[in-house]
């Protein structure tokens, strides 16, 4: 049970264009991994394949050493929760109702939620600091609060793996940090494996233990954050001039973009 | 749980309203009958306690008017309204589309097409309590729905947009054939048009017997999927990641809904608007949770259709208006009023 995910020779195509090309990597249990890469690098597609929202062209994805295909939908939802980029819920469910839906995969068709489920939902809401919102409509609360509620729903699923697709993309910097701090705490305290797509390299540098860097559908680098986020790797992926330095306040790597790289310009050390 | 009590309260008050409307409707009409007489006649029809009801002093004509004419008709209206509303809820929830109604997958045009053929071929006979026109309507509805379903299916999935488009296209196609039949056989135009507007005129215990079981069993099955439908309102991808087998649920509900609608349409003709507006009205009252929404919509839909039918048979008596006209006339403005008042997206 040491490998949360094991992916071998994974490829995916849309019509003609190859989106992912023979990707291989594995993710250990209790990791905090960020998938980064420029637009069109295939990072969202990769996450969708891991979430089984898309089916691969070829290759095998294993969760806990078992191919994803062999899990039933309900069984998979007990092992892996997914937090989408943004949740547009047009219906007036209360926050509590939404989080209670996270218990769906644990309840049999003719069963009702019991005290244990209510207790788990309560803890999930308290964990993300949203217990006080439980009776509000999901549409009345702010974007940051809503994202925390959706994370509570993932927690109520009681999975060992949580996938997140740019969970902070529509939030301001305060709420971005709030969400990422929460994920970090969850990872450290409960050992839940966090696998997340992020756009912001500096946030990825600050929070993740490991980074997967994609470029044009290929795996460019994978490993410890400090090993992957090098000028060489990032210039290849993003084609910009940049400086990477250690931030004296946070102690984390910090990338400062300078200019779009011209094809003739030589790389400067 | 507070929620459980509230849910029970709403359902109980709808059931009470049903009995009030039942009695009110049974005494409304050309023959004046007082409420207590009517209650006694209805009670005598109930199982277990029916035998102990004293019917002395009630004339045979009163017994016949309530027991054989008005009561079955009222109950049939209730069952039809119940079925259409439950299917409407299921369709709107499953397709996540506020415009969806029981006829969105081509049921109504298929049924009308079937009925038109039977009318043009002069098959207005009755065998074993089931009219041939009803039978043709039933199979027409199933034919149209299965065409829509097979058109919309891509591999093992039924994408919502494809389903809606296939429904519209197939509906237009069958409507065109029906129009062609009307042009060719112009003397049948009025019977065909009358049929497509829906009516409970001259319907009795036979039709009720046919419709009641499919509607009740179908509604129960749809109710069992309440939780799945709730999660599906968060979007199909999210539902799948929460453990719902989205495509299986969709296929199941489509088949059940098509059967229920076909049965209902075959006994009453096409009664529009109920399956569209009742779910919306009830959603405004009780919220989007299908565990409450499904039973409440069924009850309110049934009650609404009883009232509409009572109006249809009395407003310009002795002439009867097709009940579909009443549902659209009354339902439309009321719905717009609610929409404006709430000023929120459905």
Map out the domains of chain B as residue ranges: 2-342
Sequence length of chain B is: 346
Q: pTM for the complete prediction?
A: 0.87
B232 HSE (CA, 13 A, CB side): 24
The string of DSSP letters for B106-163 reads SHHHHHHHHHHHHHHTT---EETTEEHHHHHHHHHHHHHHHHHHHHH-BTTB--HHHH
Contacts of A113 in chain B (CB under 8 A): none
What ipTM was reported for this prediction? 0.86
Question: Does B339 or B279 have the greater pLDDT score?
Answer: B279
pLDDT of residue A41: 87
Per-residue pLDDT at A266: 47
Q: Would you list the DSSP string of B291-307?
A: HHHHHHHHHHHHHHHHH
Average pLDDT, chain B: 85
pLDDT in tens, B294-312: 999 999 999 999 999 999 8
Confidence of residue B107 (pLDDT cuts 50, 70, 90): confident
Q: Give the best residue of B96, B243, B244 to mutate against chain A (max A CB count within 10 A).
A: B243
d(CA B311, CA B316): 9
> Who among B242, B287, B345 is closest to A104 (CB)?
B242
pLDDT-derived band at A264 (thresholds 50, 70, 90) equals very low
More confident: A59 or B99: A59
How far apart are the CA of A93 and the nearest CA of chain B, in angstroms?
7
- In which region does residue A217 sit, left (phi positive, over 0), alpha (psi from -120 to 50) or beta (all else)? left
Which residue, among B285, B306, B220, B216, has the nearest Cα to B19 in the 3D structure?
A: B306
Q: Which residue of A has its CA nearest to B290?
A: A93
- Cβ contact B277:B305 at 8 Å: no
Inter-chain CB proximity B287 and A105 less than 8 Å: no
| Alpha carbon of residue B163 to chain centroid | 21
Domain B2-342, CATH number (from 1.10.3470.10, 3.90.1580.10, 3.40.50.11290, 3.30.70.3450): 1.10.3470.10
What Å distances lie between residue A232 and A186, A197, A208, A228, B332, CA to CA?
Answer: 32, 21, 19, 9, 66
Segment A200-223 mean pLDDT:
89
**CATH number belonging to the domain at A3-260, selected among 3.10.20.30, 2.40.30.130, 1.10.287.3510, 3.40.50.300:** 3.40.50.300
Q: Contacts of residue B345 in chain A, CB cutoff 8 Å?
A: 90
Please provide the average confidence, as pLDDT, over all residues in chain A: 87
Tell me the percentage of chain B whose pLDDT exceeds 70.
95
The first and second tokens of residue B48, run together, are 């277990």
Structure tokens at B66: 């309530």
Mean pLDDT for A194-219 is 90
Q: What are the CA-CA distances from residue B240 to residues A125, B11, B237, B276, B330 (Å)?
A: 22, 31, 5, 27, 40
Residues of B in contact with A98 (CB under 8 A): 234
Model pLDDT, residue A81: 93
Nearest to A167 by CA among A83, A52, A46: A83
Judged by CB atoms closer than 8 Å, whether chains meet at A97 and B230 is answered as: yes
Most confident stretch, B144-153, B191-200, B288-297: B288-297
How many residues are given for chain A? 269
SS3 A22: strand
Q: What would the mean pLDDT of B12-30 be, rounded to a whole number?
A: 88
What are the chain A neighbours of B244 within 8 Å (beta carbons)?
Answer: 73, 104
Q: Coil, strand or helix: which one is B225?
A: coil
Helix, strand, or coil (residue A47): helix
Nearest to B119 by CA among B165, B58, B163, B178: B178
Q: Which residues of B touch A105 (CB under 8 A)?
A: 242-243
Q: B287 to chain A, minimum CA–CA distance in Å?
A: 6
Residue A101 pLDDT greater than 70, yes or no: yes
Q: What would the mean pLDDT of A167-189 be, rounded to a whole number?
A: 88
pLDDT digits (tens, 9 = 90+) for A61-90: 989 989 999 999 999 999 999 998 877 788
What was the pLDDT predicted at B1? 45
**How high is the pLDDT of residue B129?**
59
Alpha carbon of residue B89 to chain centroid: 11
Contact (CB, 8 A) for B81 and B215 = no
Please report the pLDDT score of residue B63 as a whole number.
Answer: 77
């Amino acid at each position: 049970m040491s490998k949360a995910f094991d992916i071998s020779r994974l490829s995916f195509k849309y019509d003609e264009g190859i989106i992912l090309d023979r990707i291989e990597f594995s993710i250990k249990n209790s990791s905090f991994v960020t998938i980064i890469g420029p637009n069109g690098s295939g990072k969202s597609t990769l996450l969708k394949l891991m979430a089984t929202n898309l089916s691969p062209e070829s290759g095998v994805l294993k969760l806990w050493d078992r191919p994803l295909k062999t899990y039933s939908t309900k069984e998979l939802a007990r092992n892996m929760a997914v937090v989408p980029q943004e949740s547009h819920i047009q219906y007036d469910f209360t926050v509590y109702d939404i989080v209670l839906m996270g218990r769906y995969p644990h309840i049999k068709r003719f069963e009702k939620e019991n005290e244990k489920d209510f207790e788990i939902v309560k803890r999930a809401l308290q964990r993300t600091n949203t217990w006080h919102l439980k009776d509000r409509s999901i549409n009345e609360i702010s974007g940051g609060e809503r994202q925390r509620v959706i994370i509570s729903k993932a927690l109520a699923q009681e999975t060992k793996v949580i996938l997140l697709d740019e969970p902070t993309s529509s939030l301001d910097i305060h709420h971005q940090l709030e969400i990422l701090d929460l994920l970090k705490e969850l990872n450290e305290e409960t050992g839940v494996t966090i696998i997340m797509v992020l756009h912001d390299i500096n946030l990825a540098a600050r929070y993740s233990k490991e980074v997967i860097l994609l470029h044009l559908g290929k795996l460019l680098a994978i490993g410890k954050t400090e090993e992957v986020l090098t000028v060489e790797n990032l210039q290849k992926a993003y084609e910009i001039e940049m400086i990477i330095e250690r931030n004296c306040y946070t102690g984390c790597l910090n990338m400062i973009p300078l200019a779009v790289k011209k094809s003739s310009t030589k790389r400067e050390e | 749980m507070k929620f459980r009590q509230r849910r029970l309260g709403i359902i109980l008050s709808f059931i009470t309203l049903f009995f009030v409307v039942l009695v009110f409707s049974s005494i409304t009409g050309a023959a004046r009958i007082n409420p207590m007489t009517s209650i006694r006649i209805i009670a005598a029809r109930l199982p277990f306690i029916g035998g102990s009801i004293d019917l002395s002093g009630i004339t045979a004509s009163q017994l016949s008017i309530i027991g054989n004419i008005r009561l079955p008709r009222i109950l049939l209206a209730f069952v039809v309204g119940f079925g259409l509303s439950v299917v409407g809820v299921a369709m709107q929830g499953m397709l996540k589309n506020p415009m969806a109604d029981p006829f969105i997958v081509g049921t109504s045009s298929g049924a009308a097409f079937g009925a038109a053929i039977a009318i043009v071929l002069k098959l207005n006979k009755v065998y074993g309590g089931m009219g041939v026109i009803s039978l043709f309507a039933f199979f027409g509805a199933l034919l149209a729905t299965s065409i829509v379903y097979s058109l919309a299916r891509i591999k093992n999935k039924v994408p919502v947009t494809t389903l809606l488009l296939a429904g519209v296209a197939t509906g237009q196609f069958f409507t065109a054939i029906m129009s062609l039949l009307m042009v060719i056989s112009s003397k049948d135009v009025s019977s065909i048009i009358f049929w497509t507007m829906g009516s409970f005129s001259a319907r009795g215990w036979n039709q009720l017997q046919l419709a009641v079981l499919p509607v009740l069993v179908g509604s129960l099955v749809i109710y069992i999927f309440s939780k799945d439908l709730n999660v599906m309102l968060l979007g199909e991808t999210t539902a799948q990641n929460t453990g719902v087998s989205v495509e299986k649920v969709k296929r199941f509900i489509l088949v059940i809904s098509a059967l229920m609608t076909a049965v209902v349409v075959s006994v009453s003709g096409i009664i529009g608007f109920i399956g569209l507006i009742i779910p919306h009205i009830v959603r405004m009252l009780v919220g989007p949770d299908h565990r409450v929404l499904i039973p409440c919509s069924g009850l309110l839909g049934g009650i609404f259709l009883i009232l509409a039918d009572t109006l249809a048979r009395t407003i310009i008596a002795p002439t009867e208006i097709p009940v579909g006209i009443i549902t659209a006339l009354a339902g439309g403005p009321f719905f717009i009023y609610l929409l404006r008042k709430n000023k929120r997206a459905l």
